[in-house]
Structure 1
Amino acid sequence: MSFVVIATLVGLIVIATLLPLSRHTEWWVRDMDFPRLQIAIVALAVLVAEAFLLDMGERESPILMIVTGACLAYQAWWIIPYTRPFPNEVKLAVDAAPGDRIRILTANVLTPNRNTDGLIALIREHKPHVFVTLETDQWWQDRLDVLEPEYPYTMKCPLDNLYGMHVYSNLPLEDAKIQFLVEDDIPSMHALVVLPSKRKIRIHFLHPAPPSPTEHDESTQRDAELLVVAKSVAGLDTPVIVAGDLNDVAWSTTTRLFRKISGLLDPRVGRGMFNTFHADHWFLRWPLDHLFHSRHFTLGFIRRLPHFGSDHFPVLVELLYDEVRGAEQEGLQADEDDHELAEEKIAAEPVSVDDVHEPQP
Structure 2
Amino acid sequence: MKLKIAFFSLLLSLVACNKATKQNTVAELNNEEVENTTKFKYWNWITVGHKKSDSAYTVHFNKLKSNGIDAVLMNTGADPKLLKRLTPIAKKAGLEVHAWMFTTNRPGDSIALQHPDWYMVSRSGKSCFDERPYVGYYQWLSPSHPEARKHILSLVEGLAKVEGVASVHLDYIRYPDVYLPIGLLPKYNLKQEEELPDYDFDYSDASIEKFMKIHHKDPRKMENPAIDIEWKNFRLNEIKSLVDEAYDVVHKHDKKLSAAVFPYPEMSDHMVRQRWDKWKVDMVLPMIYYNFYNEELDWIGYATKQGIQDLEEKQTELHTGLYTPKLSNPDLKEAIQLAKDNGAKGVAFFDDYTLTEEQFEIIKASKK
Per the normalisation by structure 1, the TM-score is 0.29
Bigger Rg, structure 1 or 2: 2
Higher relative contact order (CA 8 A, sep 6+): 1
Per the normalisation by structure 2, the TM-score is 0.28
Quick check: which one's strand share is greater? Answer: 1
